[in-house]
Amino acid sequence: MAQTLTEWFSRWGLSPEIVVFMVSLLPIIELRGGLIAAAILQVPWYVAFPICFVGNMLPIPLLLLFIRRIFQWLKKIRFLQRPITALETRTRKKGRRIQKGALLGLILFVGIPLPGTGAWTGALAADLFDIRLRHSLPAIALGVALAGGIMLLVSYCLPGVFGF
Domain total for the chain? 2
Burial class of residue 79 in the structure, from the number of CB atoms within 10 Å of its CB (0-12 exposed, 13-18 middle, 19+ buried): exposed
> Are 92 and 106 contained in the same domain?
yes
> Are 68 and 129 contained in the same domain?
yes
**Segments in the chain forming alpha helices (H):** 2-10, 16-25, 30-40, 45-57, 60-75, 78-101, 103-111, 119-128, 133-152
Per-residue pLDDT tens for 87-146? 888 777 766 666 666 788 899 989 998 888 899 999 988 888 888 899 999 999 999 999
> Are 112 and 126 contained in the same domain?
yes
**With bands split at pLDDT 50, 70 and 90, how would you rate the model's confidence at 63?**
very high
What is the average pLDDT across 2-15? 78
> Are 102 and 127 contained in the same domain?
yes
> Are 71 and 114 contained in the same domain?
yes
> Are 70 and 17 contained in the same domain?
no
> Are 19 and 91 contained in the same domain?
no
pLDDT of 159 above 70: no
For the chain, the average pLDDT equals 88
Per-residue pLDDT tens for 20-32? 999 999 998 999 9
> Are 93 and 129 contained in the same domain?
yes
> Are 86 and 137 contained in the same domain?
yes
Domain span at 123: 60-146
Question: When comparing pLDDT for 36 and 130, which is higher?
Answer: 36
What percent of the chain clears pLDDT 70, i.e. is strictly above it?
89
DSSP string across 57-72: HTTHHHHHHHHHHHHH
